[in-house]
Structure 1
Amino acid sequence: MFTLLAFSQEKNECDEHSIPYWANGINSRISGENPTLRNVFKEIQLTETNITPNSGFITLRLNISKTGKLCDIEIFQIDENYQKTEFNNGALIQQLERTVTELPDWERDKAYKTYNLIRFKIKNGKIEEIF
């Protein structure tokens, strides 16, 4: 008895390996760069004033296809002691993810799948810095 296995050779552009946005002259970016990103998250920054735990960092790793489309988001959350945490029991991340999915396509100088990082510094229950 023989088992026949078939594997599809089709690949989605999101299945490719991601490289850093700054590598090899790719220069993946959102139009307007950091000021645009800060403005996009401004409403969350102004309304979320009692975040718990009240200090730490959130990093969003956005995997961007070679055509500038968002493939997926990886999320890293740590408190002020660099321990894994979940801010506002996950509600803050849901807001951030919704906002990220509404961003326009990313620009690039070369067609490679990249990842871009957006970081949020939380201090005294507020988003103090977006970088």
Structure 2
Amino acid sequence: MRFFIHGGTASSLSVAACVIYKEIYTKTFDIDFTSVLNIKGMFGASVLGCMLIALGYALLNKWGQQKWIGFFNIIVTVLSFTSMITPLAVTLPLDILSPELFPGLAIPMHFFPVLAFYTILPFFERKKATS
């Protein structure tokens, strides 16, 4: 259960980071990509990403395979990097101004779920008893 609370908390942080970053980016460059990248999409991607990571942690914990967490983290990080291909491959509508700025907005958001999950991980780890 704590893994899914962790995932939900990380989702909230990730969504907040996405919204703040989007506002700063769109105001700085005076652009509008809301027709292609909106709050619902950012919310869905953040929740899905964080909950899938939480599921992976929960399954590894259930199966008693905590020694594999490091490899799981590497896999998650590699998948996060490879997901950057999506904003580079997307074809934007012709009526969008400055389409070359879209990857600069979308690519960093692919790291927010992973960063949020790893950032708050120490708050959700169980402390080992010391003798």
Choose between structure 1 and 2: higher strand proportion: 1
TM-score (norm 1): 0.35
* Greater RCO (Cα-Cα under 8 Å, separation 6 or more): 2
TM-score (norm 2): 0.35
Choose between structure 1 and 2: higher helix proportion: 2
